[in-house]
Amino acid sequence: MDGVAFGRRVKEIIEDLVEMAKEDGQKALIEEYVQSIADEIRMSTRTVKSILAGDRPVTKISEQELIAKAIGLPLARILQLDTCNLLERLETLLKADCTEEEIAEALAKANTLYKRAVGRTERCICLNHLGRAQFKAGFTNDAHVTWKEAFDLAVKLANPDLTFKICNNLMITSLRKRRYSDFEKVLDQAEPLLEGDQERIGRLYYFRARVAIQCDEIREAKEHLLASMDHLTMTSDRFMIGDAQHNLAEYELRYGSQEKAIEYFEEAVHNLESAPIFQKLMTTQAYADALYKIGNIIKARQIALESIELMGPYPYHDIKAQFMMLISRIDNNPEAAEKAFFLKVGTDVKLQLSEFLLDFYLRVGDASKALYYHEVMLELKDYNRR
């Protein structure tokens, strides 16, 4: 934390302390804390206000310690040094494939961090982490409520980074829980804070397109996707442009011209040639699916096999599983899909695999295997409703 950020954090903490005092029926004023700090560091109240506004940095540890003493908090709590290890462990858990015990640990650590948080920015960040832990544990409703609270704080803080990050998370839960109108309001609140940021505005238009499709507003969805492409093109970033082309390709494949879809996919694959492997594989997998749908099964199978080989040791199980399912579709053989079924994949991909295998075994008349995948499918659908 730099000297400028220190002053602003102290101001947020003081505002929290004043609010807590009101809730306890006590009287506390920001001016009283300002005077207390001025007395401790032997500076004018005007200088202290300049510190709290972030206009004057506080770089000396001795001054920081005196300010901490004046507001009655340990310096380690102001600097968030007391939660560094906790946060590092939580981040590791949130990014990893976790056992049930580790998911429970992530929830406990996220709750602890939130309870310790002081100041609106720290509280907002901790709410976002808590939502991530809840979502990872399968508590979609809880995660949605938590992220909405975090988003409202981010907007009050006028913090574009937090606003956009939480907006991304809310898109997932809003679409899953079909809260479309609520999410449109979220986008309306976020857009003014992101003005001038072509990448993020471009992403917001993509989010709007996703909502429009769910609401059967197909024409509006294409308008949003084209607007997204316009904004992302202004970044001159090939990877972002490739993402926008991918999104338009998916739209054309489903609602428009298959020929145009393949053109967009080919342009996207070209732009993403040197992109991070996960981003590249996402588009390549969608391209292979598109080729299969239009009947070019030889090229689709070739791309699937090459992509699986390209992945090597990378643990992108969701994408690998979808390539393997495509091979099973083309070969009319469940072997690859059944192997994919036992990879560590997300519930949505697992559901797709169970539906494919259920359909296959119903067609070939294998009742016992069909029943097994039917039961798995029902369990996964029940899990997704949580």
Mean pLDDT by 10 residues, the chain (386 residues): 78 91 74 93 94 92 95 95 95 87 96 96 97 94 97 96 96 92 95 96 97 95 97 96 97 95 97 94 96 96 95 88 97 96 90 96 96 93 72
Q: What is the DSSP string of 245-289?
A: HHHHHHHHHHHS-HHHHHHHHHHHHHHTTTS-HHHHHHHHHHHHH
pTM: 0.86
Say if residues 202 and 220 touch (Cβ distance below 8 Å).
no
Per-residue pLDDT at 3: 54
R_g over Cα of the chain: 26
Residue keyed to tokens 């200088």: 47
Q: What is the pLDDT of residue 358?
A: 96
Q: Which domains are seen in the chain, by residue range?
A: 3-79 (1.10.260.40), 96-195 (1.25.40.10), 198-275 (1.25.40.10)
CA dihedral 277, 325, 286, 343 (to 10 degrees): -30
Q: Determine the pLDDT at residue 346.
A: 85
Confidence (pLDDT) at 78? 95
pLDDT of residue 27: 66
What integer pLDDT is reported at residue 381 of this predicted model? 84
At 313 the pLDDT is 80
pLDDT given at position 382:
79
